[in-house]
Amino acid sequence: MSSSRFFKMALILGLLSAIGPFAIDMYLPALPAIGASLGAGVGAVQWSLTAFFIALGVGQLFYGPVSDMVGRKPPLYAGLALFSLASVGCALATDIQTLVILRFVQGLGAAAGMAIPRAVVRDLHTGAEAARLMSLLMLVFSISPLLAPLAGSGVIALMGWRGVFWAVAIAAVAGMVLVSQGLHETRPASERRESGLGSALQGYGLLLRDTHYLGLVFIGGCSMAGFFVYLAGSPFVLINHYGLSPVQYSLAFSVNAAAFFVSAQFNARLGRRFGLVPTVKFAVSAAGVVMVALLAYYLVGGDELAVLLVLYFVASGFMGLVIPTTSVLALEQHGAIAGTASALLGTLQMLMGAAAMGVVGVFANGEPLPMVIGMAVGALMGLALTWLTLGGVRSHRVDSGQHTGNAHDSIRAASAGQVEKAPR
């Protein structure tokens, strides 16, 4: 793939992936205002966020296998259309219960933009080149946490919190145009002949028996869970506890998010030089150390906003080396069922994030400590899983530019209950 096509594909996939998260990040500065407008407490308002994440996870289980069966583009159209309609419903909601339900439906639509772009990456590349494309995709994806809170603050100032949902509905329609005009089908008909409901179930069975795949998924999921805890808690901590305005909060959130996406651009380079597995080990370990330091600071009575922002900025940078790279490593061995593998990966990680938000939400009181405890626990669980999954013989270097066996061989291996071997 030429450099221009490579970057064009990263741009398209990144924008499609960002549509759903835009509905999260534009929404964050409005959480206190939504509570006041609909007469809902902190926990109830956070459920509108949790419901979105649950649907975003569960929905991927459907879109991944369907994209293996019918191609990548048709389910993208369906998901974006559902997202757009649900967004209009959210804009018209008059009570928190209706908003939570519609946010769940909105998340089901957004799931297409999360599962399918990862499968497209695996259709095109493996190894360090896949890490490069995934990292570029994440760079484009970074427009969401970098710009969406600021855009959301502007929309809220002009139109109120309901304007956010009108804006993301329009973005979804634009996404459908982008799919139509800029994305070619990467799952040709010849590779779909053995894809069906039976092969999808066999694929999920294969993946759920593959402890190496699951370990990689959960390593990334632990990092993501810590981020989701911050996502749900930071509006209340930074705005209510530390007194930031919505615009100041948006800037603080964007700076921390920038660390993740800038560091992600070094994944391919570090993977070529040191190997993808050693890169993951180092980054997870470093993030764990930083989060333990942050937790210790609050446990001894510290309460400075600068400490929270600086240490989480550093931890976010290390997480940027973890999440895209573990996704590449997890999908590396399952090219013939990339849509299914991507879907299960996304589902498990989103459900981990939603569960973490739900648990921490029970103890949330607007103070930093419950949020920091949840973030640190996620980092430490990820560290433990890394050494269990990638220790010893698993510490092999993944070479760039190699593809695994053809689709039919892998489907037959799945049918026989065999775990496909990683490329050497």
Mean pLDDT for the stretch of residues 181-186: 76
Predicted confidence (pLDDT) at residue 152 exceeds the cutoff of 60 = yes
Predicted confidence (pLDDT) at residue 70 exceeds the cutoff of 50 = yes
* Distance of alpha carbon 244 from alpha carbon 237, whole angstroms: 9
Predicted confidence (pLDDT) at residue 206 exceeds the cutoff of 50 = yes
3-state secondary structure 155-170: HHHHHCCHHHHHHHHH
pTM of the model: 0.67
Predicted confidence (pLDDT) at residue 410 exceeds the cutoff of 50 = no
- Residue with token string 């609050």: 298
Mean pLDDT for the stretch of residues 375-397: 79
Query: Residue 285's pLDDT band (boundaries 50, 70, 90)?
Result: very high
Pick the more confident residue, 289 or 24.
Answer: 289
Mean pLDDT for the stretch of residues 179-203: 71
Pick the more confident residue, 54 or 107.
Answer: 107
Predicted confidence (pLDDT) at residue 39 exceeds the cutoff of 80 = no
| DSSP conformational letter for 239 | I
HSE, side-chain direction, 13 A CA sphere, residue 296: 7
Average pLDDT, the chain: 79
Nearest to 307 by CA among 316, 294, 292, 319: 294
Residue 395 neighbours by CB under 8 Å, 6+ apart: 275, 277, 278, 281
HSE, side-chain direction, 13 A CA sphere, residue 141: 27
Predicted confidence (pLDDT) at residue 379 exceeds the cutoff of 70 = yes
Per-residue pLDDT tens digits for 293-322: 999 999 999 999 999 999 999 999 998 889
pLDDT score recorded for residue 396: 46
Chain-centre distance for alpha carbon 268:
19
